[in-house]
Structure 1
Amino acid sequence: MPQQVAPQGQGTGLFVNPAAARRAEFEAACGAQFAALALADSADAALAVLDGGSVDLLVIDLDRFDPELDHAGLTRLVRARAGAPTLILCPFANARWLPALMACGPIDYAIAPLDDEALRTAIKTRLAGAPTPPPVPTLRERELDALAALRARVRQALGEGEELEALAERLCRALAGWPGVLHAALFYLQPGGDLQLQAQAGERSLNLAKVLGRADRLLQSPLRQAFPGLLAAAGNTIALLDDLDKAGEPALAASLREHGAEMVLALPIPSNGPGAPRGSLCLLFRAARGFSRDELEALAELADLAAVGLRMADMNRESEEMLVRVTHLSTLDALTGVANRRHGETLLEQEIKRARRYKLPLALIAFDIDRFKNVNDRYGHPVGDMVLRAVADAAQHLVRASDVLVRAGGEEFQVIAPHTSAIDGLKVAEKLRTAIEATAMPGVDQVTISLGVAQLGEHESADSLTVRVNAALGRAKRAGRNCVELAMG
C-alpha cells in the first residue's frame, strides 16, 4: 500500500520498490527533498497514486523487482507517465530492464548501487527540471552513423569467417572500432563445457585473462558476480557498470583503470532456445556515458547477430567433424579397424609415386591366416571374426609407424612398408609370423599365417607388385604354410 510522507522540500515524488527496508532507506536519504513523497510497494499501488493526483518525479528502484513477473506492471506504470519525469534506479547486474522500459516512454536512469549523496544529487537534478541533456542533433547523428557502421562491420565480420576462432576475433575488432570503446571481448560458453574468453581486441596492454585471473572455467571465477562480461553470460542479462567501484571489487576496479577503462557494458549472446546464453559481448569504455534506447537496441541486435554467427560456426564445425568421421569410416575396415582394400590401393599408389620421386625402396608384404575356413566351419563365424580382430591387433602393434596395415579381403592382409628393401621386408614378415604364432587366440587353438614379400621394381605398377607378392604368398602356402617367401623379380 502507498504511504504518504510529510511535506518538507519542493515538488511531489513517488518512490516504488517492493522492499519495506529499501523504501525506508530512500525516505531517510531523500525525503527532505520533496514537498510530498509517496512510497509504493508495487506498480499497481503506484498507479493508484498517479490516479489520485500529479507527481513531479517518479522514482522506480528496480532492486528486488523480477523481470519476468513484474515486467507488465512496470511497463504500464512508465506508459502512464506519458513522458513526465521518470528516474529508473537500475542495478548494474540487471540492466536488461533499460531497453524494455525505454520502449514504453522517455525515462532517465542511474546505475545502482548509489550512495546517499549520489542519490540525492540525482533526485535534485531531476526535480530541478534538468535531466541529463540529450545530445545535440549533430552529435546524435554521428552516434547513429557510428551504430550503423558498427552493424555493417559486424555483419561483414560474420560473413567472412566460418571457424569460431576467426569469427570471434573479427567480431571483437569490429566492436572495438565503436567510438569510445577501449577494448572488446567475446566470452563463449562451450557446448557441454564452461565459459571461456574466446577473443578480445582493442587496447593491446589490456589482457582480460590476466585481469580475471584465468581465460577458461570462468563460471567458477570469484569475479562471476562482479565483472559484467561474466554476469551477462551467467545470468542472461545486460550488465552495465558505469562506475567500476560499484562492483565491490577494488582490485578489479584498479586493474581496469590502470589500462584506461572507466565503464563496462556486457550483453548476453542469446541461445537458440531456452537455457543459458551462448556467452556475452563485453565492451570496455574509456569514460562513463549514458545510452539511448536506439543504442541499447542496436547493441542487442549485435548480440543477436553474434548468436547467428556462432551457430553457423558450430554448424560448420559439426559438418566438418561429420565429414571427418564419414571419411574416416569410409577408409577403414569395419571389423578390424585397419585400412580397407580401396584405401589400401590408394595408399599403395601414393607410396609408389613417393618412392620413385625420392628413389627410395618400397616393400609390400601379403599374408593370410592359415586354414581360416576350418576356423569358421568348426567354431562359427563369430569366433572367426574375433580371430581376424586379434590377428589385426597383433600385426598393428608390430608394424612401424610409417607402415600401413590393410585388410585386402576375407582373411587376407597387406603391409605397405615405405623405405624398406626386400631383405628388410623379409625381416618384418618373419617378425609378423612369429608374433601371430605366439598370440593366444580367443576360443581356438594356435593360429598361424603365411606371408609373401616383394620389393617394388624400377618401372613396376601397383597391380604388378600385387600380383608378384600374391604369387609369393601362394608359394608359402604350398610350402607347408606358416612361412615366408620372397617374390621373384
Structure 2
Amino acid sequence: MSQQADAITQQVGLFLNPVAQRRVDFQASCGKQFGRLFLAEDAEQAAHILSQQQIDLLVIDLEHFDRSLDLETVGALVRQRNGAPVLLVCAFSTAGWLVELMASGPLDYVIGPVRADELNQRLASLASVAASGADELRRLLAMGSHVQQAVQGGDDQRALAVRICAALCAWPGVVHAAMFEASAGELALSAEHSPSGLDLERILASTDSLSQSSVRHVFPGLLAAFTGELALLDAPEKAGDPQLAQALLGIGAGMAIGVPILATGPGAPLGAISLLFARAHVFTSDELATLSDLAQLAAFGLRLDEMSRDAEQLVARLTGLATTDALTGVANRRRGEELLEQEVKRARRYRAPLALIAYDIDHFKDINDRYGHPCGDAALRIVGETTQAALRASDLLARSGGDQFQIVAAHTNAIDALKMAEKIRVAIAGTAFPGCDRLTISLAVAQLGDQESADSLMLRVSAALARAKRAGRNCVELAMR
C-alpha cells in the first residue's frame, strides 16, 4: 500500500446526521476511507465525541437538519474544530448554510445529491491534499480590480449592471454572468454578459415572466432571487430536471451559482447574480464572501432611485409583522403561534417535553359591561404582568385574543405545567385590580404528544379549557389525549 493510501485509511472520521439510515448508508459506502469512523445523531453527541477523540475529518450531512433550529449548534461544531478539516454535504437549494457556517471557521463542502463514488473521491482528496490559498488570493485580487473599474465607469444603472456582469466574466472558468432584478413581485433579467455570446433564453424558457418560468425552482439564479438563499449547482444533473441539465450542458455550463441580492433589512430579495462555469469549482469562504459583497454593490448601484420606496415598504412590513400586543406588552397571537411551531419542531427533534397552557378571565364580559372598557383594559394589563412575573425566562406568554392568553413552556411535562398553572391561578386570584372586583381565571394544560402537530395541541387545550369553565371556573383542567 502506498504512503498516500495508508494515510487515507488510517484517518479517524466522524459523520453527523439525525437520520439513522443516512448514517448506515454513509458507513456502508464511505467507511473504507477511514481507519475508524464514529457516527453521531445530533450536534450534542458530535461535540462530545470531538472532545473525547482525535478526529481527522468531521463530515456533516445537512439533510434533515432545520436551519432555524440547528444553525447555531452546527456552527459551534465548526468552531470547535479550530481549523481542522470539516466537510459539509449540502443540497444545492439550501446552500445558504455555507455562507453562515463559513463564518464559524474553514470548511470544505460537496453539493448533494452526491453519488457514493463522488463522495469517496472528495474524502480521499481531503485526506491527501492540502489546500493552497495562493491561487485563490490572486483570483480575488483580479476580481476586485475588474469590479472596481466597472463601478467607476459611470452612473447609468443599466450600463452599470452590464459592466458588473462583464467584470464577473473575468473570473477564470465563467462562461456567462447575469443579474436579475425584482420589482413589484416580478423578476426581470436586467443584464447579462458572456465571452462567447451565450444567452439565457433557452434555459429560462418563459414567454411571460420569470416568476412563471418552468425552471424557477431549480435554476440557481432564479432560485436565489426568489428565496434569498445562495443556490449552488455543481453538476447540472443534481437539479433533478433533465431538461435543465441538458440545456446547461448544451451551452457549455458545468456548474451554476445564484447569489441573492438582499435588502438591507427584512423583506423580499431584490434580485440575484447568476454565474455559469464551464466546470465545477469548489468555492472558499473568501470567494463566497466576495460574491456576497458584489451582490450588495449591485443592489446599491441598481436600486438607488428606489431606496425611498423600499424603505416605506419595509416600514409597512415591519408594522404588519409586529410581534408585541400593544395593550398588554406580551407577545401577540402571531408570535405565539410562530414560537409554538418552532418549539414543536425542537421537541420532536430532541425528544424533549413541551407543554401548552391556555387561560382566559372568568366573566370578562361582565367586567367590561359593569365597569367599562378602560377598566377591562387595565385588568388585561395586570393579568399579563402578574402572569409574566410567575414564569421562567424560557417561557413565552402570548395574548391569543380578547381575554385569552397562552403560555408555551419548553422542556416542561404535564405535571410541571399543572404546577405552573396552579401557581398562576393563585397569583391572579390574590391580585388586586383597581376599579373592579378581584378576578379569577380558568386554565387548561396539555403536553405535546408524539408526532402531534401544533394545531392538534391547541385544539386539545381549548377543549380542556371549556371543561374547566363547565366545572365552575377558577380551576385547572388537564387536556386528555
Moved over 6 A (4+): none
Match of 1:208 in 2: 200
Match of 1:284 in 2: 276
SS at match of 1:230: helix
Does the alignment pair 1:183 with 2:179?
Answer: no
The alignment of Structure 1 onto Structure 2 pairs a total of residues equal to: 303
SS at match of 1:69: helix
Counterparts in 2 of 1:153 and 1:316: CA distance versus 1, 3 Å:
farther
Match of 2:132 in 1: 134
> Within 5 A, what are the aligned runs for 1:37-436?
37-126=37-126, 129-131=127-129, 133-135=131-133, 137=134, 139-156=135-152, 160-162=155-157, 165-191=158-184, 193-203=185-195, 205-214=197-206, 217-315=209-307
- For 1:222 and 1:105, the matched residues in 2 are separated by 37
Counterpart amino acid of 2:31?
Answer: G
Q: TM-score, normalised by structure 2?
A: 0.58
- For 2:40 and 2:280, the matched residues in 1 are separated by 31
- Point out the more displaced range, 50-59 or 103-112: 103-112
- For 2:291 and 2:302, the matched residues in 1 are separated by 16
Distance apart, 1:230 and its partner CA? 1.2
- For 1:249 and 1:167, the matched residues in 2 are separated by 33
- For 2:95 and 2:307, the matched residues in 1 are separated by 31
- For 1:169 and 1:292, the matched residues in 2 are separated by 26
After superposition, the C-alpha distances for 1:313-357 in whole angstroms (9 at most, x for unaligned) are 425999xxxxxxxxxxxxxxxxxxxxxxxxxxxxxxxxxxxxxxx
- For 1:133 and 1:154, the matched residues in 2 are separated by 31
Distance apart, 1:83 and its partner CA? 1.8
After superposition, the C-alpha distances for 1:293-319 in whole angstroms (9 at most, x for unaligned) are 21111110011111222321425999x
Distance apart, 1:34 and its partner CA? 2.6
- CA-based RMSD: 2.5
Counterparts in 2 of 1:216 and 1:300: CA distance versus 1, 3 Å:
farther
**CA contact under 8 A between 1:108 and 1:131: conserved in structure 2?**
no
Counterpart amino acid of 2:170?
Answer: G
Structure 1 unmatched runs, 5+:
1-8, 319-489
- For 1:67 and 1:33, the matched residues in 2 are separated by 29
Distance apart, 1:174 and its partner CA? 2.8
After superposition, the C-alpha distances for 1:233-283 in whole angstroms (9 at most, x for unaligned) are 122111111111211222222222222222111100002421220111001
**CA contact under 8 A between 1:263 and 1:286: conserved in structure 2?**
yes
Distance apart, 1:98 and its partner CA? 2.0
Greater Rg over alpha carbons, structure: 1
Counterparts in 2 of 1:215 and 1:180: CA distance versus 1, 3 Å:
farther
**CA contact under 8 A between 1:154 and 1:302: conserved in structure 2?**
no
Does the alignment pair 1:35 with 2:35?
Answer: yes
- For 1:44 and 1:161, the matched residues in 2 are separated by 52
**CA contact under 8 A between 1:196 and 1:216: conserved in structure 2?**
no
SS at match of 1:133: coil
- For 1:48 and 1:244, the matched residues in 2 are separated by 38
After superposition, the C-alpha distances for 1:44-90 in whole angstroms (9 at most, x for unaligned) are 21101112221121101122223332221111101111122211112
SS at match of 1:70: helix
Counterparts in 2 of 1:280 and 1:132: CA distance versus 1, 3 Å:
farther
**CA contact under 8 A between 1:212 and 1:223: conserved in structure 2?**
yes
**CA contact under 8 A between 1:228 and 1:239: conserved in structure 2?**
yes
Does the alignment pair 1:25 with 2:25?
Answer: yes
Counterparts in 2 of 1:20 and 1:101: CA distance versus 1, 3 Å:
same
Counterparts in 2 of 1:216 and 1:291: CA distance versus 1, 3 Å:
farther
Structure 2 unmatched runs, 5+:
1-8, 311-481
- For 2:20 and 2:209, the matched residues in 1 are separated by 38
